[in-house]
Amino acid sequence: MADLPQLWMRNETRPTERRAPLTPEDAGRLVRQGVRITVEDSAQRVFPLDDYLAAGCRAAPAGSWAEAAPGAAYVLGLKELPSAPERLHHRHVYFGHAYKGQPQAPDLLRRFAAGGGTLLDLEYLADAQGRRLAAFGYWAGYAGAALAALHARGRLAAPLVPLPREELDARLRAPSSDGLCALVIGAGGRSGRGACDALTTAGISVTRWGRTATARLDRAALLEHDILINAVLTTRPVPPLLTPADLETGARRLSVIADITCDTGSELHLLPVYDRLTDWTVPARRLRGGDRPLDVIAIDNLPSLLPAEAARAFSADLLPKLADLHTTTADPDWLRCRAAFTAALAGLPAQPAATQGRFEEVPT
């Protein structure tokens, strides 16, 4: 029992983040295996704290991990850490978004370097073929495409609020005869499949591009669709899907872009027609006005719009790997995850040189 990991699930500080990396049911399974789990209180988490306590977890105040979590604990979360403490000495398991040249990445990595801590970035918890082992991609694609469909039909209300899937689907199925068509780029990945399912639910015609069609990149054909869903992950810089000049063509039908990947600020950003994210308060931002308006939706926590469904699927994926956290020096998947962090630290402050890359469907 002593060798099993100790988990400390922190409160998410972003007000719109309602997901959890571990459900009460899955936490109970780990507790029965001998894993000690502490769960911080949270005002917005979709699962109440009492459910975790009933599963055998311990409670802690929100945000107490920095001072109260034992040094041997793994601090488990999803989105960004708060700005304090400046030195991070724990082992953190969450989506750090710090290895692709994002503007905030150097500061975060320096905090880990200063404190001697470790980032086990869930984006890089992958098998030998590079496929992510725990991911929110399906629900990110579903939610992003749903927002795009509603916005294209003038039915997207702001601010956004989380919904049960049944209610979201009812809104998508509301009668319409507008004849909209959508293009999903990266349609074969998790995010792409989720996007295609949402658009089909909405009764919108869907064109699906996989790796081959994406690599050929027929921009004229892309611009002939009403809605563009970008569900592409690229690990190296590649030509963008659209440039500002492409938006000026008189043949453009495109009116809504939903970017699931949200790589703004990175050299891997495939849609440099926009430069900042949107959010739950203002989910869509206008890129072009006039007779042919064009709006972008780029929200980086889309699955939290369907928090229960997204969390249950993610937790089921992550569960077996959490039980193996104590084997991070031997488990090949965790070793690759740790190696990505080590390589990122070694790259400070230099940025990686641009190299020719390839397209892949987002497997998140």
Mention every residue, 6+ apart, whose C-beta is less than 8 A from residue 50. none
Structure tokens belonging to residue 319 = 């569960």
Instruction: Give the distance from CA 131 to its chain's centroid.
Output: 15
Is 151 marked active-site?
no
Out of 90, 92, 97, 100, the active site residue is 97
Single-letter amino acid code for the residue at 270: L
Which phi and psi angles does 60 have, rounded to 5°? -150, 155
Mention every residue, 6+ apart, whose C-beta is less than 8 A from residue 2. none
Separation between Cα atoms, residue 307 and residue 168, nearest integer Å? 12
| Rounded alpha-carbon distances, angstroms, from residue 293 to 248, 286, 299 | 11, 7, 20
Is 225 marked active-site?
no
Separation between Cα atoms, residue 162 and residue 167, nearest integer Å? 10
Single-letter amino acid code for the residue at 40: E
User: How would you label 312-348 residue by residue, b for 16+ Cβ within 10 Å and e otherwise?
Assistant: bbbbebbbebbbebbebeeeebbeebbebbeebeeee
- Per DSSP bridges, beta strands 285-288 and 294-297 are antiparallel
- Active-site positions? 79, 97
